[in-house]
Structures are given as structure tokens and as C-alpha cells.
Amino acid sequence: MNEQQRKPRSDGLRNRERLIEAAKEVLGQGGPQASLEAVARRAGVGIGTLYRHYPTREALFQAVYRHEVDQLIKLADELKNAADATEALRTWLHAGVALVATKRGMLGALAVVKTEASSSMYSELSAQMKLAVGQLLHRASSDGTLRTDINADDLLQTMYAFCYARQPEPGWEAQVLRLLDIFLDGLKLQET
């Protein structure tokens, strides 16, 4: 039963990557009903290739979302040892807003379909996000530059709240970043 497997083909892997990248852009802009053929075109692959790798729209959404969260986890890891812990936190949150910008398009679709597969994935990824921001927050508050009466959940909630409070207008992203910065300033302890 131990069938020996070939190594996955390099072109296959490459195209998976390209599709995720293209989907992030196209779906981020055009919303959940954007054309999958446009995604394939942007990735420079045939439509058949897209469907082979991601048989359903939903599968593609999930892959994109998971990929984005992975990036954020990685980013948190890189920032773990940054000189300025508060600044690191700010950087990470800004990246988080960008994630929401991508996810924004997909959320509707996920909410409508609401497979138990998708919702379990959603909560799993949420937990990972919380851990990631928790690391950064802990360092920033334990070195005495940040208030200690706020936790990872509070921070993520705040970020989401800002994002969803002002979504429709174009330019909302910059606004949200501004508000988030102000909030972070409020978290800083004054060293008199």
C-alpha cells in the first residue's frame, strides 16, 4: 500500500502560486462574483488549469485567505525581534488591514455558502491571527512602552471594527490606517 509518490511537478507548484496571487488582486477588487476567467488570464494560465487546482470558487477563496493569513503569521515572526516593539505592532496591524481589504470581497461569499468546512477554517485562522498579534503585543507591553490593560482580542476587534465601520467608500483603507495609528498612540505610555 506504500505507493511511492513522484515529486510534485514544478510547473504545477508555480501555477498554484500564480493563481493565488492573481486571485488576490482580482477578487480583492471585483468582489466575490468577479470572473474566474479574469483570474486565470491575470495569472497567465488557461482556465482549465485554474479549475484543476481549485475546482470551485469557494476552494479558491479559501486558498487565498489561508495564504494571506500565513503571510501575516510569517510577518509576526519576522517582527518578533524588531528594535521598536510598538512600531512592529503598528506594521503588523497595517498588514492586517490589507488582509481585510482582500478578505472583504470574499467574506460575503463565505457567509452565504457557509459550509461547515469554511466556517471551521475561518475560526482556525482567527485563532492563528490572535496568537500572532499576541506575541507582538506582549513584547510591546512588557517593555514598558504600552498599556498593559489590553489584549490580543481587543486589538483585533478594534482593527476589524475600524475596517467594517467605513467600508464602501474608496480610500477607506487610508482612513482606517490613520484611525488605527491614533488608537495606537493612545495605547502608548508617556515617559515623563
Using CB under 8 A, list all residues that contact a copy of itself.
31, 33, 108, 112, 114, 168
Stretch that binds DNA, among 12-20, 72-80, 105-113, 178-186 (CB under 7 A): 12-20
Residues 19-38 that bind DNA (CB under 7 A): 35-38
- Considering CB under 7 A, how many residues would be counted as binding DNA? 27
Stretch that binds DNA, among 7-15, 64-72, 92-100, 115-123 (CB under 7 A): 7-15
Binding-site partner at residue 47 among DNA, a copy of itself, none, CB < 5 to 8 Å by type: DNA
Taking every pair of Cα atoms in the chain, the longest distance, rounded to a whole number of angstroms, is 70
- Nearer residue to DNA within complex by CB, 2 or 4: 4
Binding-site partner at residue 144 among a copy of itself, DNA, none, CB < 5 to 8 Å by type: none
Distance CA 155, CA 58 (A): 29
Query: CB 50 → DNA: shortest distance, Å?
Result: 8
Amino acid at 92: W
53 is a contact residue toward DNA (CB under 7 A)? yes
Q: According to DSSP H, which parts of 114-142 are helical? A: 116-142
46 is a contact residue toward DNA (CB under 7 A)? yes
CB burial of residue 23 (10 Å; 0-12, 13-18, 19+): buried
Tell me if 103 sits within 8 A of 24, measured CB to CB. no
Query: CB 112 → a copy of itself: shortest distance, Å?
Result: 8
Cell numbers standing for residue 37: 476567467
Query: CB 186 → a copy of itself: shortest distance, Å?
Result: 31
Tell me if 153 sits within 8 A of 130, measured CB to CB. yes
Tell me if 57 sits within 8 A of 30, measured CB to CB. no
- Nearer residue to a copy of itself within complex by CB, 32 or 96: 32
- Nearer residue to a copy of itself within complex by CB, 16 or 104: 104
Q: What are phi and psi of 146, to 5 degrees?
A: -130, 150
From residue 53, alpha-carbon distances to 15, 36, 109, 129 in Å are: 9, 13, 19, 26
Residues at the site binding DNA, with contacts judged by CB under 7 A:
4-12, 14-15, 35-38, 44-49, 51-53, 55-57
